[in-house]
Amino acid sequence: MVIERAGVVGSGLMGSGIAEVLARAGLDVVVRDISEQAVDAGRARIEKSLARGVERGKLSEDERDAAVARLHYTVDMKDFADRQLIIEAASENEDIKKAIFAELDAIVTAEDAILASNTSSMPIIRFAQSTSRADRVLGIHFFNPATVQPLVELVVSELTDPQVVDTVESFVTDVLGKVAIRATDRPGFVVNALLIPFLFSAIRMIEAGHATKEDVDTGMVNGCAHPMGPIALADRVGLDTCLFVGQSIYEETGDPAAKPPVLLSRMVDAGMLGVKSGRGFYDYSAK
C-alpha cells in the first residue's frame, strides 16, 4: 500500500506538527479542526514553522511553497472520505477520541484505510472498538515537536493486523524519515512508561526539599550525560501532559512510581504548565 493521501484530526501543537511532517514528505494532507478560528490558528502555526525552516536553511523556498500547497484545511470531517491514513491528534479525552474514530469509520470509504491515534497513553483498543475496522487501527505516537523529534512509537492493539503495522512502519521510516519502535498497547507504551516515573521521582525530590531544581537538573546533565535535566524536561513536555499521562498509567497499573506528586497537581491547577504557559518549575516569560 502506497500512502499518498493523509488526514490529521486536530491542528493544535501536535496536530500541526504532524501535518507539517506529512506535507514536507510529499503527501496530500487534509487538516481538520472544530472551528474556523482553530483552523486559522493551525494554519498560522504551520506556516510560521515552515518559514522558520527556510530561515534556518533547513528548507528551500520552493520546498516550503510545495508543502504549503499540499495542505488543505477544513472543519468538515467528510473531507476525510478519500484519505488512506488519518491520524487523530485531538484533545486527550477518551470520549472525544472514541467519537472521532466512530465518525471516521462511517465516513472513510476505502476499506484498506488506516486509522491512527497520536495519544501518548490511552489504550488504542478502546478507539479501535469504536469502529468496524479494529484490525486497521493503531497508535502512531509522534513526540513534540514532531518536526524535530525523530522517534515515532507504533502502538499495536490486540486486534491490529500485523500487515498494517508493517505498512505503517515502512511509511514512517522510508517516507517520513523517522525512527520507529513498536510497543504493545500498555499504559505509557515504551517511552512514557519509563519517562514519567523518572520525572516524578525528580519532582518528589525537590518537593521534599532534598535538592533544588537546579541541582537536580545539573546533576543529571553532568553526572549521567542527559541532554536536559528532568525538571526542565517536564517543563518542556508540559506539566499538564505529565500529570495526565501519570494519572493514566497509575489508574491502570497502580504503580506508585506513576502516581503524580501533589506539587505537580497544584502547579497545573495554578496554570503553571511549563514552557507553553511561560512558567512552570522555571520562568520562561522573558524568553
Active-site residue numbers?
Answer: 120, 141, 153, 192
Whether the upstream peptide bond of residue 187 has omega within 30° of 0, thus cis, is no
- Answer whether 232's CB lies under 8 Å from 282's CB: yes
Q: Do 247 and 264 form a contact (C-beta atoms < 8 A)? A: no
Q: Which amino acid is at 53?
A: G
Distance CA 244, CA 264 (A): 11
Phi-psi region of 271 (alpha: psi -120 to 50; beta: other; left: phi over 0): left
- The Cα 71–Cα 65 span in angstroms is 10
Give the distance, in angstroms, between the CA of residue 157 and the centroid of all CA atoms in the same chain.
18
Count other Cβ atoms within 10 Å, centred on residue 56.
8
Written as one string, the DSSP assignment of 103-149 is HHHHH---TT-EEEE--SSS-HHHHHTTSS-GGGEEEEEE-SSTTT-
